Amino acid sequence: EIEFTDIIAQPVAFSAIIPGLGFLRDVMTEPFLVHWQIRDGWATSAEIPGVRIPGAPFMGVSGVAPSAAQLAAWTAREQRVIDKGGLAFPPDPAGAVPTGPCGIAGLRTLPPRENGGNFDVKQLTKGSKLFLPVLKEGGLFSTGDGHFAQGDGEVCVTAVEMGATAVVRFKVHKGLANSRKFTSPVFSRTSYFIDPRYAVPERFLGVMGMPIDQAGEIEAENLTLACRNAVLNMMELLQERGFNRQQAYVICSVAVDLRISNVVDVPNYVVSALLPEAIFDAD
């Protein structure tokens, strides 16, 4: 058990559209950088004027070390994704920190796994508890990737990315992980992860996405397409308000929450995108 007793934000942050990454990487191909100033619980930027993002600091990456057997198995299964034409990244000595053996045999930190990692769950703010299995002696917990705020989805591949100091408390529950029939991380809270006006949110604009392609054909039960359409539709609504396409994409990443509205109304599942209107309120 890892309890986040405090997460202290630094006063500057950034968001970026990075070519080749992100949910809409096939259509959002130009780089774009946003510099955020963090003050009094809000993030503002000259690159996206008229927007204030309420803070809910959390750590995007938290994990424990895998066993040697898991390291080998997970490396192999990610290579199979690549072999089938999927997007995954093999070990890369050039980009590893530290260099050397970690870059040759270590797992990339982009995807989360059963041991935790880069899951980007924004509800893990101060006061949250995260439960991870101990896979090696000592656990070897690490955390990083501080986020000041994020929309559920983090669609452009970055949130409001900040430096941070995390304070955590550990507790061992012997045998708990082995007693369960699943291996995914578990997390909990006993209060709102952010002011409830923004957690719900109180005022919002929503748009739906369905698994219908540009030709008007249905790709039955395709949640990815429904999600894609929800994001594209929200970007159109933001452009109606005067934002350009890059600004709209970043706003979706840092403030818009993607929600699965139904997975039963076949063939058209629905994903909704919710835009909190409070981000446009004046100081």
Angle at 255 between CA 237 and CA 248, to 5 degrees: 40
Last residue of a domain, one of 198, 219, 234: 198
Q: Is the pTM of this model over 0.85?
A: yes
Domain that holds residue 263: 203-280
Residues 133 and 151 in one domain: yes
pLDDT the model gives residue 283? 62
Whether 187 and 227 map to the same domain: the answer is: no
pLDDT tens track for 200-249: 888 999 999 999 999 999 999 999 999 999 999 999 999 999 999 999 99
Query: What's the pLDDT score for residue 209?
Result: 98
* 153 shares its domain with 215: no
* CA atoms in the 13 A half-sphere facing the CB of 213: 7
CATH number at residue 236: 3.10.28.20
Report the alpha-carbon distance of residue 239 to residue 86 in Å, rounded: 31
Q: What is the mean pLDDT of each run of 10 residues along the chain (283 residues)?
A: 98 97 97 98 97 97 96 95 94 81 84 97 98 95 97 98 98 94 95 90 95 97 98 98 98 98 98 97 75
Q: Which residues pair with 160 in a beta bridge?
A: 149
Chosen domain end from 164, 179, 198: 198
Given 143, 170, 198, the domain boundary residue is 198
At CB < 8 A and 24+ separation, what contacts does 219-224 make?
220/266, 220/267, 220/268, 221/263, 221/266, 221/267, 221/269, 222/269, 223/260, 223/263, 223/269, 223/271
Clarify whether residues 161 and 211 are in a common domain: no
Q: Let me know whether 267 and 249 are in one domain.
A: yes
Three-state DSSP class for residue 176: helix
Whether residues 33 and 83 share a domain: the answer is yes
Q: In this structure, are 176 and 119 located in the same domain?
A: yes
Q: How many domains does the chain have?
A: 2
First to last CA, the chain: 39
CB 116 within 8 A of CB 108: no
